[in-house]
Amino acid sequence: MSEKILEVNHLKKSFGENEVLKDIHLNVNIGEVISIIGSSGSGKSTLLRSINLLEKPDGGEIIFKGKNVLSKGYNLPKYRTHLGMVFQSFNLFNNMNALDNIIVGQTTVLKRSHADAKKEANENLKKVGMESFANAKPSQLSGGQKQRIAIARALSMNPDVLLFDEPTSALDPEMVGEVLKTIKELAKVHMTMIIVTHEMEFAREVSDRVIFMDQGVIAEQGPPEQIFENPKEARTREFLQRFLK
Amino acid sequence: MRLVKKKITIAVLLMMLSSIFLFPLSVFGAEKEDMANGEFIVGMEAAYPPFNWTQSDDSNGAVLIQGSNQYANGYDVAVAKDLAKTLDKKLVIVKTAWDGLLPALTSGKIDAIVAGMSPTDERKEQIDFSNNYYTSNLVMMVRSDGDFASAKSIDDFTGAKITAQLGTFHYTVIPQIPEVQQQQAMQNFSAMRVALESAIIDGYVTERPEGVTAQKANSHFKMVEFSQDGGFQTSEEDTAIAVGVRKGDPNLAAINEYLNNFSVDEQNALMDKEIGFQPMSDDEHQAWYRQIAAIAMENADLFIRGAGMTLFISLIGTIVGTLIGLLIGVFRTIPESENKFLAFIYRIISFLVTAYIEIFRGTPMIVQAMVLYYGTALAFGLNLDRTIAALLIVSINTGAYMSEIVRGGIFSVDIGQFEAAQAIGMTHRQTMIKVVLPQVIRNILPATGNEFVINIKDTSVLSVISVSELFFQGSTVSQQNFMYFQTFAIICVIYFVLTFTITRILRFVETKLDGPDAYVPISNQMQVE
Ligand SMILES: Nc1ncnc2c1ncn2[C@@H]1O[C@H](COP(=O)(O)OP(=O)(O)OP(=O)(O)O)[C@@H](O)[C@H]1O
Ligand SMILES: [Mg+2]
């Protein structure tokens, strides 16, 4: 059993009357790749966003490297540098070219020298196959290219965990492959990742564990073979049937 | 967040300070000594010949107008000089709009009004008057080639379109004409002369000295004088003119003592002499385009200074206004503090900011200028320099508009970029500086340029507080040469050249900033270092 890096206990989140997350428990081990699947509105994005506190949870604990992130006085910006986030809509900074998008977080938050940041950025640009677009503005890039830059940006902060919220949902079909390939490369080198996705083939191939969410709870989790071939819960089966049809 | 604000505030202050020092020292040097002992500061329009007018040299005993390189002369100036001598003080002349004379006196910006002003009961409620120093008759100015040129009595003006200057008793006697079509009162004599020359009105009521002057200056004008019975019924309080001073001014006794020895004969002699001194234009009989060229050449220096002042006020006003807008825009993005006290402070500032924006967007700049310039003097005894007042007004006014524009600019940066910045650990402050503000500035650039162009045009209203910008210089020149169309045609061209050039420059900057649309990937050999 490998070492635990992140632990979510009794996590609750409501938007007004709408209880979106109900008592979530989740453990993440170093080097583990977790996929989260589930129908629209089941709370997958809210769970990811609560983990890096883009949403403020109403209750529960998030324990990162043994410390509760929600306790008073915890250094939030610092914590966020340990979690990289890749959004469905890329969210590149429009005022900067690709390279500067990757450099800015390193220099302002991690206080790296510009030269070090640039070196790191170029390495990650190469990793995602975008080295020849270093000087391109976001408006000059395709969706798939933007998403690969976004991944390079997240990687350059040297995070302990990478969170992906439907990284390919906003892409044209022919660009989905290039982004998934990039994520698979990261899985090979044992990057710890939590990936919300609707790409079932991909989830099955890349994940160590698959979590099925339904109506704000984790309905079932287990190795991909179990979830996709032999689901225990009726709702998992129902979802997969509907989805794979 | 606090740090950003501090930096920006300091930047604003520096900008204001440097602008003050950069400005031609001559203007400020003169105004620095304001209100010092030993000065007798007199306000007049310097545009009501032969009582007072503006000329470009010191001939015939003209006196330098404070804060300008122009000189004032006329009957009032001659009297003011004698009064200053009597009081043993140095005479300082401040060119002040007619409407501004009373507030300037009561707020202490000037010590006396010597401006052909009659001591009416209404005015006496606010200020004190000396004994009379001239008594004049009412006359009618008409076109020399018009239907009324041969009129003899006011009855001959039956049904005519007649006006007079706003706030004078000239206007109140007009209904004595049978079936008269009384027109809106006009702001100043320039306006009435233009209206008369272009046949918008048939005549305006004025006093004899002004009539003699206008008739002499422009052959299109004729002064109609009335006999004792055929003229307007007036009261002495109206036709007399006197020196206005603040209530309880200890100098009044000395002024009256001097005026008591100033006989009617002496008065008339002085008036005749001054009428002879009036600057005449020798350009009158040339073709209009030659006149324009002549006016442009003669006054090039003045117009360039005016244009410079207009640009200076508009530019600084736009820059400071934009900084105010950015400050407020950024302030509004600050997330609500968990700390109760800070949240309370935030709400108070928020309220003040909203009030500021609504008030300044909801009132005309010309009114703001009056309130700020005279109000600060009246309420706090603060004697603002006119140029500084102008900079303040334009900056604050622009700030109110810009803060709404900045708000829109911030909205147009999608929330995803805020979240992405937060997700890599940036604080609100870092997000603003690195990600949001650069985009906001690019977004608001067209609107800022637009504000700049609007400011160039709108600073013309600052002539109400006698700021020597382009429009004010145009008025000054046209009041001397009586060629309104020709002078303002030049002013018009200068305004257009200013705004057009600036619009083009801004377009160019925008396209440069945006760079090319397409991106050519770097070839593999030419890797980024
Ligand atoms: N900011 C918000 N304010 C109010 N309600 C929200 C907000 N964000 C999400 N919700 C609600 O929370 C519920 C869960 O949303 P969430 O985005 O987590 O679903 P999801 O599982 O990611 O769905 P999808 O697959 O469509 O992305 C939905 O009912 C949604 O309407
Ligand atoms: Mg979602």
Q: What are residue B105's DSSP bridge partners?
A: none
Give domain B138-233's CATH number out of 3.30.70.2740, 3.40.50.300, 3.40.190.10, 3.40.190.80. 3.40.190.10
Q: Give every strand in the sheet of B112-113, ordered side by side.
A: B90-95, B39-44, B112-113, B240-245, B128-135
Determine which residue's CA is closest to atom 3 belonging to ligand 1: A15
CATH 1.10.3720.10 range(s) for chain B read 299-528
Identity of the residue numbered A53: L
Cα(B484)–Cα(B35) distance, rounded to whole angstroms?
35
CA distances from B147 to B47, B151, B379 (A): 28, 8, 51
Q: Take residue B130 and report the two structure tokens written for it.
A: 């000396």
A148 lines ligand 1 (CB under 6 A): no
pLDDT at B285: 59
Q: Measured between CB atoms, does A95 come within 8 Å of chain B?
A: yes
Q: What is the percent of chain B where pLDDT is above 90?
A: 53
pLDDT digits (tens, 9 = 90+) for B310-337: 999 999 999 999 999 999 999 988 887 7
Check residue B375 and give its pLDDT.
84
- Say how far apart CA B256 and CA B262 lie, in whole Å: 10
State the average pLDDT over residues B252-276. 90
Q: State which of B317-326, B341-350, B467-476 shows the largest mean pLDDT.
A: B317-326
Please give the Cα distance from B76 to A49 (Å, whole number): 79
Identity of the amino acid at B124: K
B182: which residues sit within 8 A by CB, 6+ positions away? Answer: B162, B163, B174, B175
For tokens 């910045």, the residue is B421
Q: What is the pLDDT of residues B83-142, one digit of tens each?
A: 999 999 999 999 988 888 999 999 899 999 999 998 988 899 999 999 999 988 899 999
Nearest C-alpha neighbor of A178 from the set A157, A208, A202:
A202
Q: Pick B528's closest partner by Cβ from A108, A131, A150.
A: A131
Residue B374 has pLDDT above 60, yes or no: yes
Residues in chain B: 529
Residue nearest atom 16 in ligand 1 by C-alpha distance: A43
Give pLDDT, residue B189.
Answer: 82
- Please answer whether residues B432 and B310 qualify as being in contact, where contact means their C-beta atoms are separated by less than 8 angstroms: no
Query: Of all protein residues, whose CA lies closest to atom 7 belonging to ligand 1?
Result: A15
Q: Which ligand is nearest to the CA of A43?
A: 1
Q: Between helices B300-333 and B288-298, what is the axis angle to 10°?
A: 70
Interchain CB distance below 8 Å, B424 and A52: no
Cα angle, residue B400 at apex, residues B432 and B413 outer, rounded to 5°: 30
Q: Any idea which of A30-39, A97-106, B24-33, B459-468 has the lowest mean pLDDT? A: B24-33
Please tell me the distance in Å from B336's CA to the nearest CA on chain A: 14
**What phi-psi label fits residue B164: left (phi over 0), alpha (psi between -120 and 50 degrees) or beta?**
beta
Which residues of A, range 35-54, sit inside 8 Å of B by Cβ? Answer: 52, 54
Chain B residues whose beta carbon lies within 8 Å of the beta carbon of residue A143: none
Nearest CB to B420 within list A81, A87, A108 = A87
- Torsion over CA of B200, B202, B206 and B208, rounded to 10 degrees? 130
Cα→Cα distances A151→A121, A130, A143, A162, B312, Å: 11, 11, 12, 9, 49
State whether residue B487 is helix, strand or coil. Answer: helix
Residue appearing with tokens 């492959």: A177
Mark the ranges of chain A whose per-residue pLDDT is less than 50. Answer: none
Find the distance separating the first CA and the last CA of chain A, reported in whole Å: 36
Interchain CB distance below 8 Å, B522 and A95: no
Residue to mutate (ligand 1; options A36, A40, A88, A215; most atoms within 8 A of CB): A40
Is A64 touching B (CB cutoff 8 A)?
Answer: no
Q: Does the domain spanning B299-528 belong to CATH 1.10.10.60?
A: no
CB contact A104 to B (< 8 Å):
yes
Read off φ and ψ for residue B78, nearest 5 degrees.
-60, -45
**DSSP 8-state assignment for residue B272:** H
CA distance B84 to B92: 9
State the smallest CA–CA distance between residue A233 and chain B in angstroms: 34
For residue B22, the model assigns a pLDDT of 44
Higher pLDDT: B20 or B301? It is B301
| Element housing B511 (H / E) | helix B484-514
3-state secondary structure of B65: strand
Q: Where in chain B is the domain with CATH 3.40.190.10?
A: 22-134+239-279, 138-233
What's the pLDDT at B4?
44
What distance in Å separates the CA atoms of residue B170 and residue B158, rounded to the nearest whole number?
A: 17
Distance between CA atoms of residues A143 and A200, nearest Å: 21
Give the number of the atom of ligand 1 that is nearest the alpha carbon of residue A46.
18
What pLDDT does residue B520 have?
Answer: 75
Using alpha carbons, list the distances in angstroms from residue A80 to A51, A77, A129, B419, B423.
9, 5, 26, 11, 6
CA–CA distance, B505 with B507 (Å, rounded to integer): 5
Question: What is the reported pLDDT for B449?
Answer: 92
Grouping H, G, I as helix, E, B as strand and the rest as coil, residue B498 is helix
- B527 has a pLDDT exceeding 80: no
Classify burial at B293, counting beta carbons within 10 Å of its beta carbon; exposed 0-12, middle 13-18, buried 19 or more.
middle
Q: Does A141 touch chain B (CB under 8 A)?
A: yes
Query: Which residue puts its alpha carbon closest to atom 24 of ligand 1?
Result: A40
pLDDT tens track for B210-239 = 888 788 878 889 999 888 788 898 887 788
- Residues B434 and A104: beta-carbon distance below 8 Å: yes
Q: Residue B37: is its pLDDT beyond 90? A: no
pLDDT at B349 over 60: yes
Q: What confidence score (pLDDT) does residue B522 get? A: 67
> On the CB side of B449, how many CA atoms lie within 13 Å of its CA?
18
Strand partners, B93: B42, B65
Q: How far apart are CA B230 and CA B223, in angstroms?
A: 15
Q: Which residue has the higher pLDDT, B482 or B352?
A: B352
Q: Is A91 on the interface with B (CB under 8 A)?
A: yes
Task: With beta carbons under 8 A apart, name residues in chain A contacting B517.
Answer: 139-140
- For ligand 1, what atom is nearest to the CA of residue A43? 18
Cis ω for the linkage preceding B178 (within 30 of 0): no
Per-residue confidence at B36, pLDDT binned at 50, 70, 90?
A: very low
| Among B5, B11, B17, residue whose Cα is nearest residue B391 | B17
Reading the block at residue A113, the tokens are 């020298």
Return the structure tokens found at B116: 């052909």
pLDDT value at residue B2: 41
- Please tell me the distance in Å from A210's CA to the nearest CA on chain B: 24
The rounded mean pLDDT for chain B is 85
CATH of domain B22-134+239-279: 3.40.190.10
| pLDDT tens-digit series, residues B79-98 | 999 999 999 999 999 998 88
CA distance B292 to B491: 11
A174-211: per-residue pLDDT in tens? 889 999 999 999 999 999 999 999 999 999 999 999 99
A169 lines ligand 1 (CB under 6 A): no
CA of B412: which chain A residue's CA is closest?
Answer: A94
- Helices B340-361 and B300-333 cross at an angle (nearest 10°) of 150
Q: Of all protein residues, whose CA lies closest to atom 30 belonging to ligand 1? A: A41
Q: Can you tell me the distance from the alpha carbon of B35 to that of B90, in angstroms, rounded to the nearest whole number?
A: 11
Give residue B393's pLDDT band: very low, low, confident or very high (50, 70, 90): very high
Q: From the CB of A177, is ligand 1 less than 6 Å away?
A: no
CA distance B187 to B185: 7
Query: Does pLDDT of B259 surpass 80?
Result: yes
